[in-house]
């Protein structure tokens, strides 16, 4: 009995001590912002790009002397926690950053599940959060936001892009369309609703609509069915690992449609690195490229490549821009008061590295979509014409 009592006491003391240790002692003259990112787990790839984008924006501001709060320049401190690609952890990380580190605002995680989990916590705590990496329609479907802001592409823009691109290029196909999509949130939205609707509008016949688990590796039956049905155009929504498997197995099944568009999965450079020549001709929608005519676009990619010795990705741009928007808003507010910052974010009207940003009433800012195509290990913008950096390779080799 006494032992039990002692142990309980010891436990409470231990807990109290540990809590004391972990209380982050924020310096008085610092502006603390926080982010929870997937630095491990399946989305670790995205997380590392975002981490660089966030840090880069903060570093630049600090190099320039910080932000003036009430007339006094203060440095910005960015605290990043790993959520291991687990929404439960994104939520608890955000809670901790708000309550322990007293961050004045948050930057978002990546993909709807993680972003929404963090945003809901921030919203309840009435602290602003600026994020990318969450398709706008998914973001707005959660609730009417007061403190969360999203800069990303609009889902219909992305899904319609292949159709518009094909129409603009004036190429002929048999108008038979195969749709393959994973059963994740965007896969289901694109594959089940949006693509079939646009196909009808643009005069395509959907000859196959196949759904597969997010991390599927085996696509031979899907592929051979599309092949048997003679689809010239294949639209795919999948993350990178299955995207690589799909492209490989299409080749090994001897299936060569004229057009292959793989959303999400074909976007990172690892897709092309994993596939080599097979990547050539694969189309993917994008929302940013270093060639975009926006201030700092080319430099951002150059800085990333110089610093990390890795190939850049569009994910450095929306994260960098999201952080800049937040930092600009803090500067504009001249205060660390959440509501003042939030009001300043709402007033954002400036051209960032991703293009002109002005938030709509539903707290979203839309990034324009381009169609890109892998050609010789690099992406070339093939649509729309005003952004194009190369010619469409048709049919796919």
Partner 1 sequence: MRLHRLSGDMGILAGAFVLLWFAPSFASDYALQISFRVMIYLTLAESWNLLTGSVGLVSLGTASFVGLGSYVAFGLANHFGAPIPVILVVCALAGAVLAALVSPALFRLRGVYFTVGTLALAALLQLLMVNLPTFGGASGIFLKHDPPPLASLYHDALSVALVASLAMAICARTRISVIIRAVRDDEDAAAQMGVRPYRVKLAAFALASALIAMAGAVQAINLGAIEPYGAFGLQWTIDALSMVIIGGIGWRLGPLAGVLFVVMLGEMLANYPEAHIAITGVILIVLIRFAPGGIVGMFARLFTRSTRLSSP
Partner 2 sequence: MPDFGTVASAILSGLLLGGMMGLIALGLSIVLGVMRLVNLAHGVFLVMGAYAGLYFLKLTGFDPLLALPLLALGIAALALPLYRYLLAPLAQRGPEAQLMTMFAVAIILQNLFVFVFSADTRSIERSYATLPLSLGAITVPLIYVIGFAIAVALILAIHGLIAHTGFGRDLRASAADPAAAATLGVNVQRVQMLTFALGTACAGVGGVLIGVAFQFSPSSGGAYLLNSLAIVVLGGLGNVPGTLAGGMILGLLQSLGGLTLGDGYRDIVGMALFLLVLVFRPEGFLAARRA
Residues making contact with partner 1 (CB under 8 A): 1, 3-5, 7-8, 10-11, 14-15, 18-19, 21-24, 37, 39-40, 79-82, 84, 86-89, 91-93, 95-96, 98-100, 112-113, 116-117, 120-121, 124, 138, 141-143, 183-185, 187-189, 213-214
| Tokens of residue 19, six digits | 């809590």
Q: What is the CA angle 116-118-122, rounded to 5?
A: 110
Residue 143 contact among partner 2, partner 1, none, beta carbon within 5 to 8 Å by kind: partner 1
Among the listed residues 70, 71, 170, 276, the single contact to partner 2 using CB under 8 A = 276
Among the listed residues 50, 51, 116, 249, the single contact to partner 2 using CB under 8 A = 249
Residue 19: CB minimum distance to partner 1, A: 6
| Tokens of residue 193, six digits | 């609703």
Q: How far apart are CA 281 and CA 397, in angstroms?
A: 6
Q: What is the CA angle 83-87-92, rounded to 5?
A: 65
Which residues, 6+ apart, have CB-to-CB distance to 244 below 8 Å?
Answer: 265, 271, 274, 275
Quick one: 308 or 351, whose CB is closer to partner 1?
A: 308
Residues 78 and 33 sit within 8 Å (Cβ to Cβ): yes
Helix segments in 126-239, DSSP class H: 136-142, 155-169, 185-188, 195-201, 220-229
Which residues, 6+ apart, have CB-to-CB distance to 373 below 8 Å?
Answer: 281, 282, 283, 284, 379, 380, 382, 390, 392, 393
Please tell me whether residue 169 binds partner 2 under the rule CB under 8 A.
no
Residue 328: CB minimum distance to partner 2, A: 30
Quick one: 104 or 250, whose CB is closer to partner 1?
A: 104
Residue 268 contact among partner 2, partner 1, none, beta carbon within 5 to 8 Å by kind: partner 2
Please tell me whether residue 377 binds partner 2 under the rule CB under 8 A.
no
Q: How far apart are CA 81 and CA 145, in angstroms?
A: 24
Quick one: 185 or 384, whose CB is closer to partner 1?
A: 185
Residue 246: CB minimum distance to partner 1, A: 18
| Beta strands across the sheet bearing 176-182 | 205-212, 176-182, 233-238, 259-264, 282-286, 370-375, 378-383
Please tell me whether residue 87 binds partner 2 under the rule CB under 8 A.
no
Residue 278 contact among partner 2, partner 1, none, beta carbon within 5 to 8 Å by kind: partner 2
Backbone angles phi, psi at 124, to 5 degrees: -65, -35
Residue 50 contact among partner 2, partner 1, none, beta carbon within 5 to 8 Å by kind: none
Interacting residues toward partner 2 by CB under 8 A? 39-45, 47-48, 183, 210-213, 215-222, 224-225, 227-228, 240-241, 244-245, 248-249, 251-254, 268, 270-271, 273-276, 278, 310
């Amino acid at each position: 009995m006494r032992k039990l009592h002692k142990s309980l006491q010891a436990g409470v003391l231990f807990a109290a001590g540990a809590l004391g240790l972990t209380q982050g002692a924020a310096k008085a003259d610092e502006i603390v912002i926080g982010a929870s990112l997937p630095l491990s787990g399946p989305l670790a790839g995205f997380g590392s790009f975002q981490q660089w984008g966030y840090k880069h924006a903060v570093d630049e501001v600090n190099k320039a002397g910080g932000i003036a709060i009430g007339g006094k320049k203060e440095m910005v401190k960015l605290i990043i926690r790993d959520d291991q690609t687990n929404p439960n952890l994104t939520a608890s990380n955000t809670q901790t950053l708000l309550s322990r580190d007293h961050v004045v605002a948050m930057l978002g995680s990546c993909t709807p599940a993680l972003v929404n989990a963090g945003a809901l916590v921030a919203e309840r705590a009435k602290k602003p959060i600026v994020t990318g990496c969450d398709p706008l329609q998914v973001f707005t479907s959660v609730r009417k936001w007061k403190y969360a802001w999203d800069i990303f592409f609009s889902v219909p823009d992305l899904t319609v892009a292949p159709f518009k691109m094909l129409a603009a290029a004036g190429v002929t196909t048999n108008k038979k369309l195969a749709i393959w999509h994973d059963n994740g949130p965007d896969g289901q939205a694109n594959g089940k609703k949006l693509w079939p609707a646009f196909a009808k509008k643009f005069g395509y016949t959907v000859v196959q609509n196949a759904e597969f688990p997010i991390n599927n590796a085996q696509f031979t039956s899907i592929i051979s069915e599309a092949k048997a049905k003679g689809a010239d155009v294949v639209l795919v929504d999948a993350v990178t690992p299955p995207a690589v498997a799909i492209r490989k197995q299409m080749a090994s099944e001897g299936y060569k449609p004229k057009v292959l568009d793989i959303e999400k999965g074909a976007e990172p450079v690892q897709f092309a690195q994993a596939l080599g020549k097979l990547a050539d001709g694969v189309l993917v929608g994008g929302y940013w490229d270093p060639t975009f005519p926006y201030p700092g676009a080319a430099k951002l990619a150059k800085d990333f490549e110089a610093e990390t010795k890795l190939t850049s990705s569009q994910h450095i741009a929306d994260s960098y821009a999201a952080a800049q928007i937040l930092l600009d808003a803090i500067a504009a507010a001249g205060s660390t008061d959440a509501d003042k910052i939030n009001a300043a974010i709402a007033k954002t009207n400036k051209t960032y590295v991703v293009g002109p940003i002005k938030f709509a009433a539903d707290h979203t800012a839309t990034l324009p979509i381009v169609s890109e195509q892998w050609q010789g290990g690099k992406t070339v913008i093939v649509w729309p014409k005003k952004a194009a950096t190369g010619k469409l390779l048709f049919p796919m080799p």
